[in-house]
Amino acid sequence: MANCLERKKVLLVPLDPVHDIGLKMIRRGLDEAGHQTMLLPPDLPPEEIVSIISRESPDQVLVSRTLGYGVAELLARFVDLTDAAGLRDRTTLVVGGMAIRPELAAELGFDAGFGPGTSVDEVVAYIEGRPYKPDAAGIRKEKADLTARYGYEYRHPAIAKLLEGIVDGILAWAEGKTSPGIKRARLRDEAWDVETWRQGKLDGNFNDAYAALCDPVAEAFYRKGEVHPKTRRQSKEEIARLEDYLTSVEKGMTVRRLQHREGQPKVFIQYGTGCPFMDIAHIKVCEAWGADGVVHFDPSWGARTEGFIGDFLTHQEDGSVITPENLSWIKAALEASTLWQVRAHRGLNTPETVVLAGKLGADLTKINIAYGALAAGTDPARLTVDGVEAIRMAVKYNLPFDVVTNEELAGVPAHKAFAGMLIVAALARRLGGRPMLQPLFAFSPEVMVSGQMRDNYIDFNAAKIEALRAIIDAPIWPGAPIGFLTQTEDRVQSSMTTSLHAALAASLNVDAVSIASSDEAYSGGPIVAASRVDTLRAVAEGFRFFGEGRVEPTKKANQWATEIVEKIETVLKAVAAAPSFPEAMYTGLLGSKEEGAYPGRGGRGTVTEE
């Protein structure tokens, strides 16, 4: 092997009728590294190339060849000619090309072979006789603060005044009120020590006090050791296999970057397979293929149960059970650069989820009173008092959170969903939180009925972003996931629409996106890892394709953005005039039953005076 400190004489040979681009790129890398290079023209006869090698005496000969009939025979004959000329002991022969694999190169008599995906740095490292380390080539990822560059100043004075008035009303209404969810959150915050728990020390006082605040299913865990009937404990054998899996993966783990340039949005995936072992496997696949963040997706029944149970649990429905053990295993498996969100936006455990997320090391959470109360089954009054507490806990644990507007998927118009989102964001702003706006970036029921996407998927999505930016300076994280309801069971189509939506989001300079796997629209069950790779690769290609280029919306986007802002203001006026924020939700001001929004019943009647 050559000494990496020596400058080499390298002959680059396109043993091909036309193609030499790859060799030219490698030549540039070698020249920049100080090596002496000589690039031959394409399509020279092998005999003439051998004659040049004999005359020039290079240290290394890099041969390239693209696809074609008889490639193996041609390359083997070339090696035989160099051998017959007595050159094999004096020079190293290397071959590269789309059809080349290391095994084929060795079989043909070359010293090394490089196939598709080889980087210039990798070839230069080989020439210099040093190990190739991808990290040394710049693939380093750091955990990002998605809120760092925002000051949360209002840009629309009239809407700002309305939002501040509504926030005054919410805080006054919630003052002195409590719920079982708030009591559990405060107990978890004050009396549950995570280090003591990690040492396996049971706190009987905490368990007794906590059980008294749970419904019978959760209470049975603390009093009798029974787990929820939909779940089962992971066996010792499964845990041992998980440990073996993590040890094996960590040895060879490398990460990729999806973004082609700085400033393109961070990319999140949701896991939620139901099995934490499977979640971890999906997370590791997605990290390896470039995901920047992962979202803990909890089951619907968990959101309707008063209280969390514990233990390392799996179940056979969508969403992974929130327990300290499950979250801890997942946290331990994450790469240092991966952003981890534990969402807490919709159910009876909203404030306590934030506490658990904070104590167990999450980076982000998710809170939206309006979505949780109108499209996710929780009573508006209950989620208002719980939401205020959840935001306070998010501030205490330094957790930024997104405010999702998935009620649009039920048919709620964007302007009403956005009004609810902005109210929660304004509430967070007042309490010192760092909210992120999450507009739906999808083919929603509203546009299916009204036709805003009859011509393209660009204008109305762009209008939403423009409208929000006209109101407040806050991070924007379209979801959830982008391109939802445009994807079909065709994995190519599904990946492509995700990629195009991601490219549009990048063009609009948003901060993050959530993406689905290419089979999420039709899987009807577990999502396969290969489908996750589909969309991650497609998104990377979309980012690469556009780079600093732009998707240009038509004039219609500006018109719709103006209309959305005007309608948001109208909705906020009505909410401000309502007797209370919960009453505004009960009466449909932020989404009516006709629009698909139904005030939830979970936890109704559980709000009491402190």
pLDDT per position as a tens digit, 510-542? 999 999 998 887 766 678 889 999 999 999 999
Percentages helix, strand, coil for the chain, rounded to the nearest 5? 45, 10, 40
Q: Do 165 and 85 belong together in one domain? A: no
- CA 115 to CA 360: how far, in whole Å? 43
Task: Using alpha carbons, select from 419, 332, 325, 339 the residue that is nearest to residue 371.
Answer: 419
Task: Return the pLDDT at 18.
Answer: 75
* Total number of domains in the chain: 2
What number is the average pLDDT over the span 20-48?
91
pLDDT per position as a tens digit, 109-153? 999 999 888 889 899 999 998 888 765 445 678 899 999 999 999
pLDDT per position as a tens digit, 277-331? 999 999 999 999 999 999 998 888 888 899 999 999 998 877 899 999 999 999 9
Q: Do 403 and 338 belong together in one domain? A: yes
In a domain, 414, yes or no: yes
Q: Do 176 and 101 belong together in one domain? A: no
Least confident of 48-57, 194-203, 400-409, 462-471: 194-203
Q: Mean pLDDT score of the chain, rounded to an integer? A: 92
Q: What tokens does 463 get?
A: 């209008």
What CATH number does the domain containing 369 carry?
3.20.20.440
Q: pLDDT at residue 506 above 60?
A: yes
Identify which has the larger pLDDT, 527 or 400: 400
Q: Do 442 and 535 belong together in one domain? A: yes
- CA 259 to CA 541: how far, in whole Å? 9
In a domain, 147, yes or no: no
Q: Do 51 and 189 belong together in one domain? A: no
Q: Do 212 and 342 belong together in one domain? A: yes
What number is the average pLDDT over the span 449-475?
96
Q: Do 72 and 195 belong together in one domain? A: no
C-alpha dihedral sign at 89, 90, 95, 101:
positive
Percent of the chain with pLDDT over 90: 74
Task: Return the pLDDT at 4.
Answer: 52
- CA 150 to CA 97: how far, in whole Å? 47
- CA 188 to CA 186: how far, in whole Å? 5
Q: Do 106 and 181 belong together in one domain? A: no
Q: Do 205 and 297 belong together in one domain? A: yes
Q: pLDDT at residue 487 above 90?
A: no
Identify the burial level of 422 via C-beta atoms within 10 angstroms of its C-beta, where 0-12 means exposed, 13-18 middle and 19 or more buried: buried
Task: Using alpha carbons, select from 474, 562, 536 the residue that is nearest to residue 510.
Answer: 474
In a domain, 397, yes or no: yes
In a domain, 606, yes or no: no
Annotate 166-178 with b (16+ C-beta within 10 A) or e (fewer).
bbebbeebbeebb
- CA 404 to CA 478: how far, in whole Å? 9
Q: pLDDT at residue 1 above 50?
A: no
What CATH number does the domain containing 82 carry?
3.40.50.280
What number of H helices and E strands is found in the chain? 24, 16
Q: Do 122 and 167 belong together in one domain? A: no
In a domain, 149, yes or no: no
Q: Which residue range is the domain that position 202 belongs to?
A: 157-591
In a domain, 438, yes or no: yes
Least confident of 280-284, 416-420, 485-489: 485-489
Q: What tokens does 354 get?
A: 């934030």
Task: Return the pLDDT at 319.
Answer: 85
DSSP for 415-473 reads: HHHHHHHHHHHHHHHHHT--EEEE-B-S--HHHHHH-TTSS-SSHHHHHHHHHHHTTB-
Q: Do 200 and 115 belong together in one domain? A: no
In a domain, 2, yes or no: no
In a domain, 548, yes or no: yes
Least confident of 349-353, 515-519, 558-562: 515-519
- CA 114 to CA 367: how far, in whole Å? 49
For the beta carbon of residue 526, count every other beta carbon within 10 angstroms: 14
Percent of the chain with pLDDT over 70: 97
Q: Do 114 and 204 belong together in one domain? A: no
